Amino acid sequence: MNSTATKSSGDWKNLPNLITISRLGIAVLLFAMLTLELQGWGIGDRHLALNIATVAFILCVATDAIDGYLARKWKMVTAFGRLADTFVDKIVICGSLIYLVKFAPDLIKPWFVVIVVTREFVVSGLKSYFESQGQEVAPSIGGKLKMILQSILIPAVMLVEGNRDFVAGMSDESIWKTLFGLLENLTEPLFWGTLVTTLWSGMDYLVAGVRNSKKSDPVT
């Protein structure tokens, strides 16, 4: 949630912020399903566990869009909401990718996750520093595209990994097998698109940070 009319005080217990906090609970379900499947504690059903995790992830993305929309529409954007929203987003995205290194090692490589996580740390640090100086670094187009592609890539990979064996026994004429094939073919372009936009948006923030720094330098 980003707005120039951010409230620094007031009642943080508004509906958009409560929706943001609820995403933490959904994230717990998401990571619980992935952990149970990874460790073999009780479920033993890869199809069920990864499909539940996919639904949980999609709910996290949907509620993220809803709380931001409501906060702007009802003028309920708060400093707490902005911080919590960013914090939860990073937990859901980075946490899911870390798990997918194990579930989808052919596609989600450790180096890819390191790049994504590093970008998040760098951008968060830059934004915090410049906001402390009274400067605002506006979200970039690359950053928005990166978030969209991440939000599609992660559930797509979960669905592919969770349903590979499930559709293997279906006939080649099955609509589900056809859809599965299309989704599987889509994951690699999504991966590279996410990588490119992650690097692009990171550079955008670095450049914007340097420009803001130069503007704030005293003339000598």
CATH assignment of the domain containing 158: 1.20.120
- Going from the C-alpha of 188 to that of each of 66, 146, 155, the distances in angstroms are 29, 15, 13
In a domain, 10, yes or no: no
In a domain, 28, yes or no: yes
In a domain, 121, yes or no: yes
- The confidence band for 74, taking pLDDT boundaries of 50, 70 and 90, is confident
In a domain, 4, yes or no: no
Q: How far is CA 43 from the centre of its chain?
A: 26
In a domain, 8, yes or no: no
Query: When comparing pLDDT for 212 and 95, which is higher?
Result: 95
In a domain, 38, yes or no: yes
Asked whether the whole model's pTM tops 0.95, one would answer: no
In a domain, 9, yes or no: no
Provide the domain limits for residue 51: 15-216
pLDDT digits (tens, 9 = 90+) for 148-197: 999 999 999 999 999 988 888 888 888 989 999 999 999 999 999 999 99
Neighbours of 40 (CB within 10 A): 8
What backbone phi and psi angles, to 5 degrees, belong to 173? Answer: -85, -5
> How many domains does the chain divide into?
1
In a domain, 101, yes or no: yes
